[in-house]
Amino acid sequence: MQIVVNGSAENVPDPALTIAELLQRSGVESPEMVSVQLNGEFVDRQDYGNKSVTDGDEVDFLYFMGGGRA
């Protein structure tokens, strides 16, 4: 299936990939600080292990820091 991770299209072979597995697979830096959005909606940290992505989903890993204009 194809999903969009942080704005980039990715092919994911596993049809039942959880958010926790996706975090690990994507090599996300400082995962304890990241905020996950699935199709624009916040995903609670306690749901990372039981919420799976499906074909066409958009996943964003966002940090409070770093964003913005300078």
Partner 1 sequence: MTAFATKAIHGALLKPEAHGSLRPPVYDSVAFEFADSHQIQLAFEGRKPAHAYSRITNPTVDEFEQRVRILADALGVIAVSSGMAAISNVIMALAETGANIVTTRWIFGNTYSLFEETFRPWGLETRYVDMEDEKAVAAAIDGKTRVVFLEVITNPQLQVADIDAITEVAHAHGVPVVLDGTVTTPYLFRSRDHGVDVEVISSTKYISGGATSMGGLILDNGLFDWKRNPKLEPYAKKFGPGALLAGLRREVYRNAGACQSAHNAYLQTLGLETLSLRIGKSTANTLALAQWLEKQAKVKSVDYPGLASSIYAKRAAQFFPRGAGGILTLDVASREQCYAFQDALKLVRRATNINDNKSLILHPASTIFCEFDEAQKQSMGVRDTMLRLSVGIEEVEDLIEDLERGLAAL
Query: For residue 26, what are the contacts with CB-CB under 8 A and spacing of at least 6?
Result: 5, 6, 61
* Residue 13 or 66 having the CB closest to partner 1: 66
Looking at beta carbons only, is 15 or 42 nearer to partner 1? 42
Closest CB 4 distance from partner 1, rounded Å: 12
Min dist. Cβ of residue 60 to partner 1 (A)? 7
As measured in angstroms, the least distance from the Cβ of 28 to partner 1 is 9
At 19, which helix (H) or strand (E)? helix 19-25
Site residues, partner 1 (CB under 8 A): 6-7, 29-30, 33-35, 37, 40-44, 60-70
Could you tell me the sign of the dihedral formed by the alpha carbons of 13, 9, 42, 67, in that order?
A: positive
Tokens 């749901």 sit at which residue? 47
